[in-house]
């Protein structure tokens, strides 16, 4: 039986609701998982292919870089081939924001530290209002406005908050309130402090993330610590885990954070042991391949991939589908029922056949509920 987390994870902070395309952000809506393509946006075919892969693993909103007018214009072609909202990421040139909106972007992300003058911001806001889309005000420690950096002596949390509040104040005064805010640092503690301060000052929805978090291991650790701390405080309406990695890994880590906090479940939960000298099968390869395949299953199954007879059979019986390794063989369980004993070379495919059968049953259940 799972423990009651009501005293651990606080109730979600009340925020207003905005929309990025057809995805609602804020209020009681699910915390949306985002990623960003790392392809050249002007390469429409390559970008669309990557976004399709990200859709398959659960990405709900995609952001693309817009370094020039050709990239902005490519958004119209990309959007025709994908089924999730697209955000145009803008730095330095306000004209690229306008061009991206005209090309069909569902939202734009601007950085107050480098977008330029009040007049340039006003031109962007005017176009946002005209097309009825939303915008993200993205404050980064690495590109803070010069006057704020000078005032505070550096990008400390108070400085990030002041930048965010100043800029959303300007945008609201221009008649636009379809805004979400991010306020990121590469420092975990500064990021957490900044978001906590900001959440006390505004009810606009917040996009969570640690910027320039690093590669798979350091990036996952830093993002998990910062985002979990904030989510447990009830702070956050959408999120991106930033990794120097295939963006599909960002989506995977994001859902694992949400799963661990029992906030959202998507896809199988995989239980696997760290291995020890008792393990007599190639569990590393086996677990890695199961994890890779499982990313494309949206249903919250529980899978166990265990290496030996100490905890293996017990954990396998607690899963929907489980396996426990022996010497060159493995036992496959469905719930607490032993299905079969399989040679190691057949273990992966036999195990996965059972997983796919169960996933198909879950798919039909979902389809039946939707048709009722």
DSSP string, 289-334: HHHHHHTT--S--EEEEE-STTTHHHHHHHSSEEEEE-SSEEEEEE
The dihedral sign for the CA sequence 157, 6, 266, 268:
positive
What are 218's two structure tokens?
């350091």
Position 1 scores a pLDDT of 46
Residue range 238-265: average pLDDT?
Answer: 93
Which pLDDT band holds residue 2 (cuts at 50, 70, 90)?
Answer: low
Please give the residue that has the higher pLDDT: either 369 or 5.
369
> What local confidence, expressed as pLDDT, does residue 3 receive?
53
What does the pLDDT average to over 331-339?
Answer: 86
What confidence category does residue 213 fall into, taking pLDDT thresholds of 50, 70 and 90?
Answer: confident
89-101 residue pLDDT tens: 998 899 999 999 9
On the question of pLDDT at 312 being above 80, the answer is no
Distance CA 216, CA 222 (A): 10
Q: Give the 3-state secondary structure of residue 108.
A: strand
pLDDT in tens, 147-170: 999 999 989 999 999 999 999 999
Instruction: Using the predicted structure, report yes or no on whether residue 254 has a pLDDT greater than 90.
Output: yes
What's the whole-number mean pLDDT along residues 129-136?
96
Residue 94 corresponds to which tokens in the numbers above? 């306000």
Is residue 4 predicted with pLDDT exceeding 60? no
Please choose, from the candidates 362, 315, 363, 323, the residue with its C-alpha nearest in 3D space to the C-alpha of residue 346.
323
Cα distance between residue 260 and residue 256, in whole Å: 6
Q: What pLDDT shows up at residue 314? A: 73
Instruction: Tell me how far apart the alpha carbons of residues 110 and 219 are, in angstroms, rounded to a whole number.
Output: 23
Q: Of 122, 136, 157, which is closest to residue 204 (Cα–Cα)?
A: 136
What does pTM read for this prediction?
A: 0.88
pLDDT tens across 286-301, in order?
A: 888 998 899 889 988 9
């Amino acid at each position: 039986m799972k423990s009651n987390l009501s005293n651990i994870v606080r109730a979600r902070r009340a925020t207003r609701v905005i929309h990025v395309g057809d995805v609602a952000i804020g209020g009681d809506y699910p915390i949306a998982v985002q990623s960003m393509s790392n392809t050249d946006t002007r390469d429409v075919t390559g970008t669309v292919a990557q976004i399709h892969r990200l859709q398959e693993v659960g990405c709900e909103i995609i952001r693309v870089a817009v370094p020039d007018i050709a990239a902005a214009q490519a958004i119209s072609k990309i959007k025709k081939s994908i089924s999730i909202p697209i955000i145009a990421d803008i730095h330095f040139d306000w004209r690229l924001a306008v061009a991206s909106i005209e090309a069909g972007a569902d939202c734009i992300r601007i950085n107050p530290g480098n977008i330029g003058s009040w007049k340039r911001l006003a031109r962007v806001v005017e176009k946002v209002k005209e097309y009825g889309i939303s915008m993200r005000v993205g404050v980064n420690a690495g590109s803070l406005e010069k006057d704020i950096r000078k005032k505070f002596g550096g990008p400390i949390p108070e400085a990030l908050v002041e930048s965010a509040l100043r800029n959303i104040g300007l945008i609201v005064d221009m008649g636009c309130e379809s805004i979400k805010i991010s306020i990121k640092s590469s420092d975990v503690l500064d990021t957490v402090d900044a978001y906590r301060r900001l959440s006390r000052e505004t009810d606009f929805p917040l996009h969570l993330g640690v910027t320039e978090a690093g590669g798979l291991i350091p990036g996952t650790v830093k993002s998990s610590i910062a985002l979990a701390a904030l989510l447990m405080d009830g702070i956050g309406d959408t999120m991106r885990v930033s990794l120097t990695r295939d963006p599909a890994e960002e989506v995977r880590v994001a859902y694992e954070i949400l799963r661990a906090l029992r906030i959202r479940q998507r896809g199988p939960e995989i239980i696997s042991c760290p291995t020890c000298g008792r393990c007599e099968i190639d569990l590393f390869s086996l677990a890695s391949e199961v994890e890779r395949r499982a990313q494309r299953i949206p249903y919250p199954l529980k899978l166990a991939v265990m290496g030996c007879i100490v905890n293996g059979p017990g954990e396998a019986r607690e899963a929907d589908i489980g396996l426990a390794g022996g010497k060159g063989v493995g036992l496959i369980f469905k719930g607490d029922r032993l299905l079969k004993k399989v040679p190691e070379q057949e273990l992966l495919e036999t195990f996965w056949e059972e997983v796919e059968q169960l996933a198909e049953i879950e798919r039909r259940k979902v389809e039946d509920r939707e048709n009722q």
